[in-house]
Structure 1
Amino acid sequence: MTVLIGLKQDNFVLITGDTKSTHMNGSNQTLDTYDSVVKVHPICENMIIGIAGSDRIGKAVVGAITPIFSLIHKLSVKEMIQHVQKTTIFIHDMYSQMHLDRDYDHLLLVVACIDHKEDKSYLYSLSSPSGFEPVEINGDCKAFGVKSQEVEEYIRTNMSRKYVNEHPIHLLSAAIRSIDDQMVSKDTYSFILNKDKTADYVFLDEQGNVKQ
């Protein structure tokens, strides 16, 4: 199980996720869980993607589009999202056809982008139940996965106070730590992409301290 949070602001986009991965067999039975799994991936200077559900399929999508989008191109964010959708559909369908004995190929992608020409930030979600039709997130922040409503409520309640003294990464990480679920880690991984084309990643442990 997974928690992903996307946040967009005028000068940056950010995705934070927990770091626990659940391995299941073809009958949807849990085999084991593993910590320290990175679920948020940089794609290029203006896109990052968070993966929930099938980590194997999600990473295949990331691996397919990263070398293409990392080259100089003139695509708009909306055109890039269309290519993400097409690539995800192809890889997901191919995986499903080759693994007919498995019925746990659910996949959710959270995509955060900055369009430098439009000077605008975007959040999208694409999921297997909806055929990976891109859904643009109109609000500034959106949580996905386990107890997402509780996570969003924590963020709304603490937004003002946390923004005064701390980077929003700490707020999103604390929101994930605030829920109690054995399938969700207290450790978090965040990737932030700034409008000036700089980027950074942060691991926070279960106390909210930066992990080296």
Structure 2
Amino acid sequence: MRSYIDDYKQKGLRKQLVDTIRSKGITDENVLTAINNIPRHFFLDTAFEGIAYEDRAFPIGEGQTISQPYTVAYQSQLLEVRPMEKILEIGTGSAYQACVLAELKANVYTIERQKKLFDANKNFVFKNKYRNIRFFYGDGYEGLPTYAPFDKVIVTAAAPSLPAKLLQQLKVGGKMVIPVGEGDVQRMMRITKLGDEDFSTEIFDDFSFVPMLAGKKM
């Protein structure tokens, strides 16, 4: 079960979380405001309600997690989201990251390979608020060629290498933010598409994500 009551206590804890994230180096005020506006405890079982605003990841089932808020803010900041941009997200999970992007006024296309997690979002608590999120069940490595090209791509799982099909689905001038590497630690990268076969790569901090897997899981 989940609680959908957002009282003064939760709002106060959320403000403290935003202050924590800011102290760790997040400077994009739009991202910080989005984090402050979204009740993270809505995305977690009531067992986690008392600790939902700690800056850490929590399990959401199927071997997946809701990412650490700092990680969500970090990736969102690197993505440099602009209103009305078309963004492809790989790995819906709890839909928390998708909501942050939607709060930033992007049009979000998000893919989940785990059927149980995808089905859980059919009763998405914010489906009326965030009409700018579209949910898809599928293989993240394949992307969504029918809806391409995208202004931005964000990958919320660790890829062993850069997924070629996702790079193809970026607009020229578009950016992908993705953790790359095998093992327990990955490097956060931002790839900018300069031309059809021309890309620039920026390398940032180390993170730890669940692995990006191919195919769909029932």
Q: Normalising to structure 2: TM-score of the pair?
A: 0.31
Query: Which one scores higher on RCO, CA 8 angstroms, separation ≥ 6?
Result: 1
Greater strand fraction, Structure 1 or Structure 2: 1
